[in-house]
Chains A and B, each alone.
Chain A
Amino acid sequence: MKQRFLFGSAIALVLAAGAASGATLDDVKARGTLKCGVNSGLAGFAAPDAAGKWEGFDIAVCRALAAAVLGDAEKVEFTPTTTETRFTALASGEVDVLSRNSTWTFSRDVDLKFTFAGVNYYDGQGFMVSKDLGVTSAKELDGATVCIQTGTTTELNLADWFKTNGITYQPVPIATNAEANQQFQAGACDAYTTDASGLAASRATYENPDNWIILPEIISKEPLGPLVRQGDDQWADIVRWTLNALIAAEDYGITAANADEMATTSENPEIKRLLGTEGDLGAMFGLDKDWAKRAIQARGNYGEIFAANIGEGTPSNIARGLNAQWTDGGLIFSPPFR
């Protein structure tokens, strides 16, 4: 009896250990939904719309991924995470992919055992202050109280930057973007620091956006992108190339509206490979031929996603800048589909 007990626990052990490193793709397919870790609320990037449906720049990556893997952009289960809980949620397997404006850093990639699937937004840390303060440069912020989201790279950058410039500050650590905005607007801190995109998105939701200015200093490089657990290369490849498909689609002029048409009429072999009319790229990582076409059709190509959620004319009103295609002088670039 004792032996059987041991044998039973040995089996349970193997199963449990297997589950942690098993093929994420199979899990997602078996489950029928994609579990996506997202920001708990950042206008334009990840926020529920008026109907309670999650939409935004980071959400679109999840939708494209669900469309590529499951054939339906709506089969996504969103898990709102704070800056503090996000990595634990991913490491523990609570989510399959984290698409939550997270900065790609060495230690996160190497030490925290994650794999960054690419960059969907090139960002940098900035400061926002009230116009009444009369500050025009972040270097004038000596002695200021600064609101900051705790558990982020911005927290470390802030400490380093003030130290480098030989000035002091009083940090006010806060758990979420929403709370930080509240404290900042109430004057509980002089400046709010986070990624410049986040500042623009936050300012868009303020009552009088013109009363707040974003200071010119960008004090860090913040390449943001989706990430997955290390050790499942197939799944990392799927996320990476889904993002690349969206970027390549903009490059080649494939949009959500014309993807079907392009698939049949285009003479460009790269477009044909991407859209599955030539070769079978999808089969190489366990998907079907049309995976990229479905991903593009989910919320459009990279440019369409940018324009719809955070681009000029939206409340966030962010220029493409570094996030323009490489052909337009930006950094957005997809390796070839070959």
Chain B
Amino acid sequence: MTSAEMPGERFRLSMLIYDTRYRSLTIQVIALISFMLAAAWLVNNTVQNLAALGKTFDFGFLGTRAGYDINQTLIPYTNDSTHGRAAIVGILNTFLVAILGCLLATIMGVLIGILRLSPNWLVSKLAGTYVDVFRNVPVLLWIFAFFAILTDMTPAPAAFRGDNPSAQMIFGAVAITNRGFYIPWPVLAPGWQLVVGIFALSVVAVVAFGRYARARQEATGEILPTFWIKAGLLVAPTLLADLLAGHPISFDFPELQRFNFEGGGFIDKSLIALWLALSFYTAAYIAENVRGGIQAVSRGQTEAAAALGLRPNRIMNLVVLPQAMRVIIPPLISQYLNLTKNSSLAIAVGYMDARATLGGITMNQTGRELECMLLLMGFYLILSLLISSIMNWYDARVSLKER
């Protein structure tokens, strides 16, 4: 260990400890070396133990045939596909439940957080009870509870059979069974792109018109009948396109066959149970964030808005919530991350997420524990970083602009 000598003073080794100029550096160097040694030891130990067990470290298994089936897939997959594709199916399923969960949890959380502050005693106490009940029971139990409820409270497909069935399809289109929900599913004939494209353009037009109307209102004070124009913009061109293309989009309805409903779309019970449980659980936390955020907005703001004659819901939407967002969003990020990571409990109800395919069946069939776990950890790490960077970007957008 060498160190630059001070001019005119002889450097002694003891100065590394007793001289405050060097001490912190010395401590940091020692800490760094210890850390690197510990890391090296861990890696070396793993390598040696793998060698002792006669195992290699190899990701080649990802290219071999998986051989198992997955019940809910977003991309085409059969048991002839590779383990790598099975992992992607699982990863997409994780994305699916995470996105659905974050959406529902946010909507419910904001609603309940606001209700908790309601002046109505019953409403605020109900919201408070919701938060307490959902926050203080482990999420795994909620997942099991929702799964059990769906299993026991919904009819089996056989109940829809016969002349006088004990269960009915909703509007003859949706069947809620203890296997999952069977729903109508769009069938796309050639020309569907036109209809969908026109519809997307209509949405853009609606947004653009909204901005124009607001700018005009701010400039001239004239209020346009935005609702009817927006509704017309949204519906009319799409209907016209549909007519021109000859109704390219039709729906396939589920029909009861020998064992199951066939046709249409199928949402597995495990996905619904997991989605609801994660959303309800996380919503309780988000509700508390929202309540805290709203309470962080000075009372004077509300009173000032009221003095200007704004109605309570406009005060909330225009004055309180925009300011509260700055307080709400940072903890919201961690709730989204929690929800995403909690989705790895999916295997408890047999939902095939990344943990269940890559870290479950694939790991079990190939015996590549270390490789699978590393991949899985890498995946969750990347996903979490992705979510937090998106949310940080959003936070930067809504945060107080200092001019």
- On A, residues with C-beta under 8 Å from B are 2, 5-6, 9, 12-13, 16-17, 20-21, 83-84, 87-88, 91, 107-108, 111-113, 132-133, 141-145, 150-151, 155-156, 158-160, 163, 169-175, 182-183, 186-190, 229-231
Minimum Cβ distance to chain B for residue A98 (Å): 13
Contacts of B347 in A (CB 8 A): 84, 150, 175
Of the residues A2, A160, A187, contact of B158 by C-beta under 8 Å: A187
Contacts of B363 in A (CB 8 A): 88
B residues 53-98 in Cβ contact with A at 8 Å:
53-55, 67-71, 79
B179 interface contact, C-beta 8 A: yes
Beyond A16-B49, A83-B364, is A230–B54 a contact (Cβ under 8 Å)? yes
Contacts of B54 in A (CB 8 A): 113, 230-231
Minimum Cβ distance to chain A for residue B91 (Å): 17
B residues 328-380 in Cβ contact with A at 8 Å:
347-348, 350, 352, 356, 360-361, 363-367, 369
Whether B257 contacts A20 by the Cβ 8 Å rule is: no
Task: Give Cα A9 to B43, complex, Å.
Answer: 12
Task: Give Cα A141 to B259, complex, Å.
Answer: 8
Task: Give Cα A171 to B270, complex, Å.
Answer: 12
Minimum Cβ distance to chain B for residue A14 (Å): 8
Minimum Cβ distance to chain A for residue B44 (Å): 6
Of the residues A141, A144, A159, contact of B79 by C-beta under 8 Å: A159
Task: Give Cα A16 to B262, complex, Å.
Answer: 56
Contacts of A13 in B (CB 8 A): 41, 44-45, 48
Whether A112 contacts B361 by the Cβ 8 Å rule is: no
Of the residues A6, A113, A142, contact of B55 by C-beta under 8 Å: A113
Contacts of B369 in A (CB 8 A): 88, 91
Task: Give Cα A290 to B356, complex, Å.
Answer: 46
- On B, residues with C-beta under 8 Å from A are 33-34, 37, 40-41, 44-45, 48-49, 51-55, 67-71, 79, 151-152, 156-158, 178-179, 257-260, 262, 269-270, 347-348, 350, 352, 356, 360-361, 363-367, 369
Nearest opposing residue in chain A for B53, CB measure: A113
Of the residues A12, A142, A172, contact of B71 by C-beta under 8 Å: A172
Of the residues B34, B40, B151, B361, contact of A150 by C-beta under 8 Å: B361
Of the residues A5, A143, A174, contact of B350 by C-beta under 8 Å: A174
Of the residues A113, A143, A150, contact of B259 by C-beta under 8 Å: A143
Whether B259 contacts A144 by the Cβ 8 Å rule is: yes
Contacts of B40 in A (CB 8 A): 9
Whether A2 contacts B257 by the Cβ 8 Å rule is: no
Apart from A143-B258, A150-B356, list 17 A-B contacts with CB within 8 A: A5-B33, A17-B51, A20-B53, A87-B364, A87-B367, A88-B369, A143-B257, A144-B258, A151-B365, A156-B365, A171-B68, A171-B71, A172-B71, A175-B348, A190-B259, A231-B53, A231-B54
13 contacts between A and B (CB under 8 A): A17-B45, A17-B51, A88-B369, A150-B350, A151-B361, A172-B270, A172-B350, A174-B350, A175-B347, A187-B178, A188-B179, A189-B179, A190-B259
Contacts of A6 in B (CB 8 A): 37
Minimum Cβ distance to chain A for residue B21 (Å): 22
Of the residues B34, B156, B356, B365, contact of A173 by C-beta under 8 Å: B356
Whether B151 contacts A188 by the Cβ 8 Å rule is: yes
